[in-house]
Amino acid sequence: MGHKFLIYGDPAYPLRPLLYKPFGGAVLHPYHVALNKAMGSNGYHQLELDTSSRQLTTFSTHVGFFRYKCLNFGISSAAEIFQNTIRLVLNGISNVLNVSYNILVFGQAKQQHDASLEAVLHRLQEPGLTLNEKKCHFHRELKFFGLIFSGDGVRPDPKKVTDFLQTKTPEAPQELKSLLGMVNYSRRFLRNLADLTQPLRELTNKNVA
């Protein structure tokens, strides 16, 4: 096409170290922990495209050509652009993590949490970003990306553990790889996982009949 596209890399990934970092295994009194997860209303459509970028979103219909004025879901780099934009908007606020349109606010004391939450709300308001009230949750314990965060630290979601235990026995290398991937996601909670899964990983080698 002759055009050059900029693919945004996200410095906030990989995800797991990012999520584990603020909790660090420290045990906090449950009363003093408040968590918030908020999802932006209409997500990507809150970010306006500049004029030169809009032409790249042009599409044809039976009544003529149209183009997007805002970031749309069909752009391959939309997720990275949105993640990076929200990260920059919230930059400098303590006790805050964001993964795409999910924002996690935490604190070792309610006062600390509330101060960070207020800062987040003010910061989002400045560029006109809005939140979906129905998807804002205020809890002392919160499920987030298959994990549960609370004053006691981080632990696996029991439902995910149950789903894993009910998984059928793999009958093909690809099924085994998928199973190992599920286990690997929770490796933080499994002692000597590498040694335990070594025989299974060997079965995924191409030379194994």
Cβ distance 13 to 98 under 8 Å?
no
Confidence bin at 209 (pLDDT 50/70/90): low
Give the tens place of pLDDT for each residue, 143-168. Answer: 777 788 777 778 888 988 898 888 88
pLDDT score, position 60: 92
Query: What's the confidence (pLDDT) of residue 25?
Result: 44
Could you tell me which residues are beta bridge partners of residue 119? none
Helix ranges restricted to H, the chain: 15-20, 51-54, 78-90, 110-125, 158-165, 173-185, 193-202
Looking up tokens 């906030």 gives: 12
* Domains of the chain, residue spans: 15-156, 157-209
What's the pLDDT at 41?
Answer: 53
Q: How many CB atoms are located within 10 Å of the residue 119 CB?
A: 17
Q: What are the residues facing 40 on neighbouring strands?
A: 131
What is the rounded CA–CA span in Å between residue 176 and residue 179? Answer: 5
Which residues have a Cβ under 8 Å from the Cβ of 79 and sit 6 or more positions away? 100
Contact of 94 with 116, CB cutoff 8 Å? yes
Assign domain 15-156 to its CATH architecture. 2-Layer Sandwich (3.30)
Q: pTM for the whole thing?
A: 0.67
DSSP state of 11: T
* Contact between 126 and 91 (Cβ < 8 Å): no
Going by C-alpha positions, the residue among 31, 161, 163, 40 that lies closest to residue 109 is: 31
| CB-neighbour burial class of residue 44 (10 A; exposed 0-12, middle 13-18, buried 19+) | buried
> Which of 11-15, 29-33, 35-39 shows the lowest per-residue confidence on average (mean pLDDT)?
29-33
94: phi > 0 → left, psi -120 to 50 → alpha, else beta; which?
A: beta
